[in-house]
Amino acid sequence: MTLSREITPGSGGAHILKALPDHVAPAPKRRRLVPIRCEPRWRAAAPSLQQEVARLIELLTKQEPPRQRRRRPKDAATFHLAIECIACNLLAVSLAAPERPLAVTLANSASRLTPIFGKPARKVIDLMIELGLITKVKGYPYRGPTTIQATPKLRERLSLGQVKWSALRLEDNAEVLVLKSANRDKPSEDDDTDEVPTRSASAIDKEGLDSLAEDVRSINAAILKAPIECHRAAMAHVSERPGAAMASLMTLHHQGLRRIFNGSWDEGGRLFGGFWQTMPRADRFKHLRIAGQGIGLVDYGQLFLRIAYAEAGSTPEPGDLYDVTGQDTLRPRWKLLRAARKKLINALFFRRAPLKQWPGATLAEVAQIRSAFQPGTTPSDAIKVIRERHAPIAHLFEDGHGLRFMRIESDLIVAVTLALFRRGVFSLPIHDAVAVPRSDVEVAATVMRAEAQRVIGADVPVEIQFAER
């Protein structure tokens, strides 16, 4: 038992410490679980769940105080949809991460993304609290989002944690092209409230955007027809980005993709939204099946560096471009050094000012990158060696080209995915790689080399993997 101490004055200015055995030091605080972001597209699919949702709608409607005017049909439909959405989100969380709370966006500004968020969600949550169906924790005490959790009363009503995933369904994405505000280094699906509607595009951009959107819809249609299976143990997982206020719950239902742009339609553009993209890498190989086969991952090698060399009109030296001495691959900890140097080089492409610190989203990641280099190596030392090794493209470092390179990369992967589907090869895109049935990896590699030559104008090596390295 840890004892607290009392300090009392003694003679001659001394102080006496007394142990107080009847006082126990407070227990260390438990790490707060990152809440699951509310998915506005969850709906009830099974007739039995639809009936339970209908009864819940009736219950909450009766709980409302008398209204002077009846809701307009459109507002009533939105209110009912908000009830269904929140109930289905709580159900999904109960199946995959019952210990985590659900974060619901309540700000009025969020209603421009989906009418469910904002005022309708606030009303539904207040009514559910009154009926003892959920509890709420406001976000401001810990600088996080407001969260809710189901009570035993709601768990019993909706059979939370007991139904199957087939009882739920996901609505299709209303928009397959999303423009984020320009205050982020890289595009992601976090903080959906900073989305800019596609209709904000100029008339000049509209025709090109329509073509991009049609490509994404074609990919989504092909993926929905693909015979994708996942072992029961991996049908759902929590995708948690370091430092993010909310995590995403990804399930086998999450197969529709969107392209996320950043700041302008010429930057970013990566495909997001597929459950296979955020699966732990080892789980992809272990649990994912396409057309009854295990997958092979066909991956572009050092793509950003090779895009930069193509733009500079220069041909890089043979070999791994992350090996800056020609001997690094022989080092015992080469795998760790390579991963750290890759992150450092990518940071140089994204920065618009000199990079003076080790990159990393968290202190742990920064420490991991720093420890991969020789003791005493500073960021300046490591960057100097990179600049010397890649002198033909050194002018492209620290000049903000990362998101533009990402647009080229994403255009390339879209082209590869479409080309593979045209050949009858089922393909799941993962940023700079594709997952395909094991028997199709050589076809995929051939297509990827050809598309890189067409889109970038350079030879880009590809790597085939059948298991976690």
Same-domain pairing of 84 and 141: yes
Q: What is the pLDDT of residue 4?
A: 44
Read off the pLDDT of each residue in 331-335 and give the average, rounded to a whole number. Answer: 92
Burial class (CB in 10 A: 0-12, 13-18, 19+), 16: exposed
- CATH number for the domain harbouring residue 118: 1.10.10
Q: Decide: 359 and 402 in contact? Cβ < 8 Å.
A: no
Same-domain pairing of 253 and 127: no
Whole-angstrom Cα distance, residue 125 to residue 148?
8
Same-domain pairing of 201 and 276: yes
Ramachandran angles phi, psi of 326, nearest 5°: 85, -10
**Distance, CA of 25 to chain centre:** 39
Same-domain pairing of 55 and 184: no
Question: What is the share, in percent, of the chain residues with pLDDT greater than 90?
Answer: 71
Q: What is the pLDDT of residue 296?
A: 97
Report the amino acid identity of residue 151.
T
Same-domain pairing of 301 and 321: no
Residues 6+ apart with CB under 8 A from 454: 415
322 lies in a domain? yes
Count: domains in the chain: 3
394 lies in a domain? no
372: its two tokens? 């991969």
pTM of structure: 0.85
48 lies in a domain? yes
Q: What is the pLDDT of residue 208?
A: 86
14 lies in a domain? no
Same-domain pairing of 180 and 157: no
Q: Decide: 227 and 292 in contact? Cβ < 8 Å.
A: yes
51: its two tokens? 């009936």
Q: What is the pLDDT of residue 70?
A: 80
pLDDT grade, residue 142 (50/70/90)?
low
395 lies in a domain? no
Q: Give SS3 for 249.
A: strand
Read off the pLDDT of each residue in 360-382 and give the average, rounded to a whole number. Answer: 94
CA-nearest of 75, 159, 84, 162 to 119 is: 75
Same-domain pairing of 448 and 344: no
Whole-angstrom Cα distance, residue 172 to residue 209?
19
Q: What are 455-469's pLDDT values in tens digits? A: 999 999 999 999 765
Is pLDDT at 356 greater than 80 in this prediction? yes
Report the amino acid identity of residue 210.
D
pLDDT grade, residue 195 (50/70/90)?
low
163 has which bridge partners? none
Q: What are 437-459's pLDDT values in tens digits? A: 999 999 999 999 999 999 999 99
Same-domain pairing of 291 and 437: yes
Same-domain pairing of 235 and 299: yes
CA-nearest of 282, 286, 281 to 231 is: 286
Q: What are 205-226's pLDDT values in tens digits? A: 778 899 999 999 999 999 999 9
State the residue range of the domain holding 88: 36-169
Domain boundary among 132, 154, 169: 169
Same-domain pairing of 52 and 188: no
Is pLDDT at 101 greater than 90 in this prediction? yes
Is pLDDT at 30 greater than 80 in this prediction? no
6 lies in a domain? no
157 lies in a domain? yes
Question: What is the share, in percent, of the chain residues with pLDDT greater than 70?
Answer: 86
Same-domain pairing of 424 and 359: no
Whole-angstrom Cα distance, residue 278 to residue 6?
52
Is pLDDT at 191 greater than 90 in this prediction? no
Output the CA torsion sign for 194, 187, 271, 224.
Answer: negative
Q: What is the pLDDT of residue 39?
A: 95
Ramachandran angles phi, psi of 271, nearest 5°: -80, 130
Same-domain pairing of 191 and 297: yes
* Segment among 118-122, 296-300, 321-325, 432-436 with least mean pLDDT: 118-122
Domain boundary among 143, 169, 195: 169
225: its two tokens? 């027809």
Domain boundary among 389, 416, 446: 389
28 lies in a domain? no
* Consecutive H or E run containing 383: helix 379-389
Is pLDDT at 28 greater than 60 in this prediction? no
